[in-house]
């Protein structure tokens, strides 16, 4: 099937009934950008900026951050790139950065935006690097682990502060900045009415979201098989989020690993998602799945399965896909 997936590069992810699905890739290093050309993906839906920090022995200087972001934007050309501000701290501890080593639950600890808002010199330097790299073009910035809407406000204000500084000094600026939040802390889903009017887009991080929804460590092998992404709890939760985003006219994507698995991606499309950002190796298989899918047939069937769950949802969706030759 490898050759078949390679041939998918030129093909668009359009379903049998004519719906275009946006399929982007997740990336973190400069070389990952090559995946755009190799897969024919629509853009980079998640650029994990902390990778540069994790592979560096010292805190990356603003200039080197800026160089990386600029080269990623250059390489991506016309395709959009969503830069996620650093998600470090917790278990992604850095030797040169004094984070909180006392966390008993690092995933729920002093990480990501929590750390970035607390250590704002780090975040200001990154914001400046992003703004400089995005000069003359559109810049997309996304904040990880937003738990309450005010955290998004604070992070955006910090970036806007740097923008103002650059404007006051007559430096070149991005033509437009789009700000997004990641939804990976369940509490945020309860305040979407407050959050959505503030954001330009939302991206659901199903890796963290599901570990928090099920209270199951995403790295614990004994729990890896226990709770299924294809569970009514997760799919109903995601359906509510997608419905709220659609009503508010806010573009919403899934950028966790879930979106890179064909059956899971099929279910996500069935509950209304139209944008996925996935690991590059999954682009071929996901495009192939989309091209064989009749979304109008899937939607009512998935609604029935979710409204009255009875047992094995994965099994039911597998049978559905087999019968409809997905």
The reply to whether 90 sits near ligand PEP by the rule CB under 6 A is no
Residues ≥6 apart with Cβ < 8 Å to 300: none
CB of 324 to ligand PEP, least distance (A): 28
Please identify the residue of the shown chain whose CB is closest to the bound Mg ion: 208
Site string (57-96) toward Mg ion, x via CB under 5 A: ----------------------------------------
> Whole-angstrom Cα distance, residue 149 to residue 195?
5
Dihedrals phi, psi of 176, to nearest 5 degrees: -155, 145
Least Å distance, CB 253 to ligand PEP, is: 10
- Our finding on whether 255 is near ligand PEP (CB under 6 A) is yes
Q: If binding means CB under 6 A, how many residues of this protein chain bind ligand PEP?
A: 10
Looking at the chain, the number of H-run helices and the number of E-run strands are: 15, 8
Closest alpha carbon to 50 in 116, 105, 119: 116
Least Å from the CB of residue 203 to ligand PEP: 8
Phi, psi of 64 (to 5 degrees): -75, -30
107 versus 293: smaller Cβ distance to ligand PEP: 107
**Segment interacting with Mg ion, rule: CB under 5 A, options 12-20, 75-83, 181-189, 281-289:** 181-189
Which among 1-9, 115-123, 206-214, 292-300 is the span making contact with ligand PEP, rule CB under 6 A? 206-214
Q: Which stretch binds Mg ion (CB under 5 A): 96-104, 197-205, 235-243, 268-276?
A: 197-205
36-44, 51-59, 192-200, 204-212 -> range binding Mg ion (CB under 5 A): 204-212
Site for ligand PEP in 16-75 (CB under 6 A): 46, 48
- Beta carbons of 83 and 48 less than 8 angstroms apart: no
Torsion of CA 90, 91, 93, 99, to 10 degrees: 20
Per CB under 5 A, which region of 43-51, 114-122, 201-209, 271-279 contacts Mg ion?
201-209
What CA–CA distance (Å, rounded) separates 309 from 197? 33
Region from 3-11, 128-136, 204-212, 244-252 binding ligand PEP, contact rule CB under 6 A: 204-212
How far, in Å, CA of 139 to CA of 214, rounded?
Answer: 34
The residues near 194 (Cβ < 8 Å, ≥ 6 apart) are 149
Residue 139: CB minimum distance to ligand PEP, A: 20
Per the DSSP assignment, residues forming a β-bridge with 177 are 139
127 phi, psi to nearest 5 deg: -60, -45
Smallest distance, ligand PEP to C-beta of residue 277, A: 8
Q: Which of 256, 260, 280, 284 binds ligand PEP (CB under 6 A)?
A: 256
Does 208 help bind ligand PEP (rule: CB under 6 A)? Answer: yes
- Give 136: exposed, middle or buried? Use CB within 10 Å, 0-12, 13-18, 19+: exposed
Kindly state the DSSP code that residue 92 receives in the 8-state scheme. Answer: B
Nearest to 128 by CA among 154, 163, 100: 163
Site membership for ligand PEP, residue 87 (CB under 6 A): yes
* Residue 191 binds to ligand PEP (criterion: CB under 6 A): no
Would you say 46 or 302 has its CB closer to ligand PEP? 46
- Provide the b/e sequence for 137-150 (b: ≥16 CB within 10 Å): eebbbbbbbbbebe
Tokens of 108: 């729920």
- Chain residues binding ligand PEP by CB under 6 A are 46, 48, 87, 184, 205-208, 255-256
- Chain residues binding Mg ion by CB under 5 A are 184, 205, 208
């Amino acid at each position: 099937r490898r050759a078949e997936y390679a041939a998918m590069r030129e093909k668009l992810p359009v379903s049998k009934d004519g719906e275009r699905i946006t399929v982007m890739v997740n990336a973190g290093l400069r070389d990952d950008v090559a995946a755009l050309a190799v897969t024919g993906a629509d853009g980079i839906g998640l650029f994990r900026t902390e990778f540069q920090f994790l592979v560096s022995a010292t805190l990356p200087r603003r200039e080197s951050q800026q160089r990386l972001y600029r080269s990623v934007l250059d390489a991506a050309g016309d395709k959009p790139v969503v830069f996620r501000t650093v998600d470090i701290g917790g278990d992604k501890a850095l030797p040169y950065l004094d984070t909180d080593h006392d966390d008993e639950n690092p995933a729920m600890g002093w990480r990501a935006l929590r750390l970035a808002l607390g250590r704002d010199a780090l975040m200001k330097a990154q914001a400046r690097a992003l703004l400089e790299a995005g000069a003359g073009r559109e810049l997309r910035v996304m904040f990880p682990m937003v738990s309450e809407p005010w955290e998004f406000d604070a992070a955006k204000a910090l970036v806007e502060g740097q923008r103002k500084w650059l404007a006051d000094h007559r430096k070149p600026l991005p033509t437009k900045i789009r700000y997004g939040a990641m939804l990976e802390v369940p509490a945020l889903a309860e305040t979407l009415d407050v959050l959505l009017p503030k954001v330009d887009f939302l991206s659901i991080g199903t890796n963290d979201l599901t570990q928090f929804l099920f209270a199951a460590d995403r790295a614990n092998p004994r729990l890896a098989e226990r709770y299924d992404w294809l569970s009514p709890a997760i799919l109903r939760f995601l359906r509510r989020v997608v419905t709220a985003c659609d009503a508010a006219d806010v573009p919403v994507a899934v950028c966790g690993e879930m979106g890179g698995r064909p059956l899971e991606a099929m279910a996500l499309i069935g509950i209304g998602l139209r944008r996925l950002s996935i690991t590059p190796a999954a682009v071929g298989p996901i495009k192939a799945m989309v091209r064989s899918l009749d979304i109008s047939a899937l939607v009512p069937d998935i609604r029935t399965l979710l409204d009255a769950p009875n047992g094995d949802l994965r099994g039911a969706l597998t049978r559905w896909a087999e019968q409809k030759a997905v």
